[in-house]
Chains A and B, each alone.
Chain A
Amino acid sequence: EVQLVESGGGLVKPGGSLRLSCAASGFTFSDYSVNWVRQAPGKGLEWVSSISSTTSYIDYADSVKGRFTISRDNAKNSLYLQMNSLRAEDTAVYYCATPYYYDSSGPDLDYWGQGTLVTVSS
C-alpha cells in the first residue's frame, strides 16, 4: 500500500524558514517523480514543486521560485521542501504527492499524504 507521511509543519514568523519532510513507503520511491502541493485555508489546491526520480528535473511554481528548494533522498525514501523567506500567504496545508497509475515524467499526482500545516504569522 502506497503511504506518504508529511512532517515538519508548524508556526513560523514572517521571513523565517521551515523544512518539510515526506516519508514514502509501499512503492519503489526511486522510480517516481514526487511533488509538493499546498492548500491555503478555505482555498483551492496549488501545485508547488516537482522533482524527477533522479533529480534531473526540478520545477517550481512562480509563487515560490527562489524561496523554496525541493530535494529527495532515494536511499531514505524521503522528499523534502526547504522553505525560506516565508510569507503570510505561504500559510497552507502542504501535501506530498506521487504518480502511480500514470507517469508522463511530468508533475503527475495520484497518491497523496495527509498533509502538514504551515502557519506563517507574527
Chain B
Amino acid sequence: SYELTQPSSVSVSPGQTARITCSGDVLAKKYGRWFQQKPGQAPVLVIYKDSERPSGIPERFSGSRSGTTVTLTISGAQVEDEADYYCYSAADNSGVFGGGTKLTVL
C-alpha cells in the first residue's frame, strides 16, 4: 500500500512564507490534493491537481510538484491560516492521506 510523508509541524511568523511538503511513490503517477482542517471543523480543499486552487481559496495558497513531492506554499501566512494540513492522493484502488502537518502562525 502507498504512504505519504509530511512533517508533523511547521511554524512561521505572520507574513512569512510557510511551506509544507508531502512525499510518496503514489505521486509519481497521481495528482496531490491539500486539505486544511481547523479544530472541530471538516476538512476544506485548498489545492487540487497539485497546483490548482478552488474558487474561494485565497491566492496566498499555492501548490507545486517536483518528482514525487508536492508542496503547499502559503505566501504571507496569516493567523487564520493556523490549522492542520493534510495531503492526499487518489490511488487506483484506495485513497492515501499524509499524516498531517500542524501549522502554527505565531
Contacts and interface: CB of A to CB of B under 8 A. Distances in A.
B45 A107 contact: no
A102 B49 contact: yes
Interface in A75-119: 95, 101-102, 104, 106-115
Contact of A59 (B44, B48, B93): B93
A110 B93 contact: no
A1 to B, nearest CB: 11
Interface stretch (B15-23, B64-72, B74-82, B96-104): B96-104
Contacts of A37: 95
B42 A114 contact: yes
Chain A contact-residue range equals 20 to 34
Contacts of B35: 45, 109
- Max count, chain B CB within 10 A of own CB: residue among A44, A45, A59, A62: A45
Contact of A45 (B48, B90, B100): B100
Contacts of A101: 45, 48-49, 52, 54
Contact of B43 (A45, A46, A62, A102): A45
Contacts of B90: 104, 106-109
A47 interface: yes
A111 B54 CA distance: 11
Contacts of A102: 31, 48-49, 52
Interface in B79-95: 86, 88, 90-95
Given A110-B33, A110-B45, 17 more contacts: A44-B98, A45-B37, A46-B97, A47-B97, A61-B94, A95-B43, A102-B49, A102-B52, A104-B30, A106-B91, A106-B92, A106-B95, A107-B90, A108-B33, A109-B90, A110-B48, A113-B42
